Amino acid sequence: MVNALKSKRKPTFFESLLPLIFIALFLGIGYGIFKLKAEILLIAAAFVSGLIAMRLGYSWLDLEKGIVESISKGMPAMLIVICVGLLIGSWIACGTIPMLVYYGLKIISPHLFLVTACIVCSIVSLFTGTSWGTVGTMGVAFMGIAHGLGIPPGAAAGAIVAGSYFGDKISPFSDTTNLAPIAAKSNLFDHIKHMLWTTTPAWLIGLVVYFFIGRSYAPKAFETDQMEIILDTVRSNFHFHWLLLLPPVLILYFAIKKKPTIPGMIVTSLLATLLGLVIQKVSLNDLVIAMTLGYQSHTGIEVVDRLFSRGGMAGMMHVTLIAFCAFSFAGIVQKAGMLDVLLDRLLKIAKSTGALIASTVTSGIAVALMTGSSFLTILIPGELFAPAYRSRGLAAKNLSRTTEDSGTVVVPLVPWSMAGVFMAGTLGVPTLSYLPWAVMCYLGMVFALIYGFTGFAIAPKIRDDETIVGS
């Protein structure tokens, strides 16, 4: 036992970089070009990382422990994913989502769809503090509307994800927004105000892009008669009533009041089940099947059936499978100390304010790629770089802002991250398809880098205790 412990050594920089190189090659070529399943490619990357870790002296039991620890950290998120499947299946069966889609198709103009979807999701996420909850409710409805209007799914999903994360990022109710100032030793309200310098211009540029791109989505892009068929089919197969708005209202109440997420989803699904029994006259057995295996639409109109045949807990299991594989990779590279070596190297090359911001951004992206965890992209760079920001006389809110610019909003753009697989699974659009359209999610770090090298919107440290508002 003693010999085994002594044989372990610290990985070199090249050895630490290899897992990132292999996962980029496997996913870039295997997933991007040959369309191979991401699960197998992640296992392959984990296998290569495991071989490197064993070369460093780690046993299989060590690596297994790291994998289990990594998966356990992600288990709450995976439980939420499963409950989202429950929620979607019940909301479709009771008529809530079909009603939202129906009136959305009648009200929203195609050329303003992307702007509308982004703004609405931003507002909902701002007041609820949850990007996942916004995507799982409003996002699903907007994807249905996009399908009916003939909007490209990648563009629609990108606008939804960007809006949901913008609201989440500046919401005082968000868990990551509260975590970032804690990790960086700043305070919540200064952190939120300081984030507006990078987040707001990135969001506004996204809206401009959506506006001009949306001008090409004129009504002629989708035949009017087919639109009428969809509207008539939805209207004739579901009974609409104002009570069907209660499930989204209830889920918003749970979010605003900061009630536990999973119980809120279950209660809302139970309410939807009751509405399905009373308003849609659906049998209890069919409602249970919709929540378990997913709702199956049998209207006879292919476009409508494809739109509403989704949801169910079983329908989200592929998302949790990808998460298990991704966390296995993350557990190995963290257990073997490879991530620590990469971050230490980044810290050493930060010789100026611009280089320090750039190193923070790079570390956030590296943690996102290697762990797929929003929380770790905040905690690890926050703890690692805090002394460097203090010694350079920079306010802690610069660090907390940068960890969010390069971590929180970047994670949903990583195909194997928990957020990435959730967004892709819930919206039915591959991560790489919506990535270019989630403008706010990657422009924020660009502004962070510009400010870092120009000195604009970089706050100096004015007091030792920066947890006091006004620091």
Over the stretch 160-195, which tens digit does the pLDDT of each residue have? 999 999 999 998 878 888 889 988 888 988 999 999
pLDDT of 352 over the 70 cut? yes
Comparing C-alpha atoms, which of 414, 363, 394 is closest to residue 194?
Answer: 394
Residue 96's contacts (CB-CB under 8 Å, 6 or more residues apart) are 244, 245, 247, 248, 272, 275
Domain with 193, as residue range(s), is 74-317
Domain-located, residue 256: yes
Domain-located, residue 238: yes
Any long-range contacts for 310-314 (C-beta under 8 Å, 24+ apart)? 310/88, 310/89, 310/92, 310/428, 311/85, 311/86, 311/87, 311/88, 311/89, 311/90, 311/91, 311/92, 312/85, 312/86, 312/88, 312/89, 313/82, 313/83, 313/85, 313/86, 313/89, 314/85
Q: Which phi and psi angles does 394 have, rounded to 5°? A: -100, 140
pLDDT of 256 over the 90 cut? no
What DSSP assignment string belongs to 99-141? HHHHHHHHHS-GGGHHHHHHHHHHHHHHHH--HHHHIIIIIHH
Domain-located, residue 156: yes
Whole-number Å distance between alpha carbons of 2 and 393? 44
> Residues of the chain with pLDDT > 70: what percent?
97
Domain-located, residue 146: yes
Span 301-336, pLDDT tens digits: 888 888 888 889 998 888 788 888 888 998 999 899
Q: 394: helix, coil or strand?
A: strand
Domain-located, residue 283: yes
pLDDT of 219 over the 60 cut? no
Residues 315, 67, 70, CA angle at the centre, nearest 5°?
70
Helical packing angle, 317-335 and 60-94, nearest 10° = 150
Res 6: pLDDT: 52
Whole-number Å distance between alpha carbons of 185 and 399? 9
N residues, the chain: 471
Res 412: pLDDT: 96
Res 2: pLDDT: 45
Comparing C-alpha atoms, which of 158, 186, 427, 452 is closest to residue 307?
Answer: 427
Res 441: pLDDT: 96
> Residues of the chain with pLDDT > 90: what percent?
52
Res 119: pLDDT: 94
Res 4: pLDDT: 46
pTM of the model: 0.83
Number of domains present in the structure of the chain: 1
Q: 403: helix, coil or strand?
A: helix
- Token pair 């999903």: residue: 157
In angstroms, the Cα distances linking 132 to 107, 129, 186, 227, 394 are 25, 9, 26, 30, 33
Res 262: pLDDT: 87
Alpha helices in 138-260 (DSSP H): 140-149, 153-169, 175-184, 188-214, 224-237, 246-256
Helical packing angle, 284-292 and 261-278, nearest 10° = 150
Residue 132's contacts (CB-CB under 8 Å, 6 or more residues apart) are 80, 84, 164, 419, 422
Q: What is the mean pLDDT of the chain?
A: 89
- The least confident of 60-64, 184-188, 292-296, 355-359 is 184-188
Domain-located, residue 339: no
pLDDT of 255 over the 80 cut? no
Span 390-408, pLDDT tens digits: 888 999 999 999 999 999 9
Highest mean pLDDT among 46-55, 76-85, 98-107, 132-141: 46-55
Comparing C-alpha atoms, which of 38, 64, 111, 24 is closest to residue 335?
Answer: 64
pLDDT of 222 over the 60 cut? no
Mean pLDDT for the stretch of residues 366-381: 86
Greater model confidence, 350 or 211: 211
Q: Which phi and psi angles does 460 have, rounded to 5°? A: -80, 160
Provide the 10 A C-beta neighbour count for residue 267: 15
Whole-number Å distance between alpha carbons of 240 and 108? 19
Whole-number Å distance between alpha carbons of 353 and 405? 16
pLDDT of 299 over the 60 cut? yes
- Token pair 């190189």: residue: 21
- The least confident of 46-50, 140-144, 170-174, 308-312 is 170-174
Res 65: pLDDT: 95
pLDDT of 221 over the 60 cut? no
Domain-located, residue 337: no
Greater model confidence, 270 or 175: 270
pLDDT of 215 over the 90 cut? no
Res 229: pLDDT: 85
Provide the 10 A C-beta neighbour count for residue 172: 12
Whole-number Å distance between alpha carbons of 295 and 287? 8
Span 224-252, pLDDT tens digits: 667 788 889 999 999 999 999 999 899 88
Q: Which phi and psi angles does 386 have, rounded to 5°? A: -55, -45
Domain-located, residue 15: no
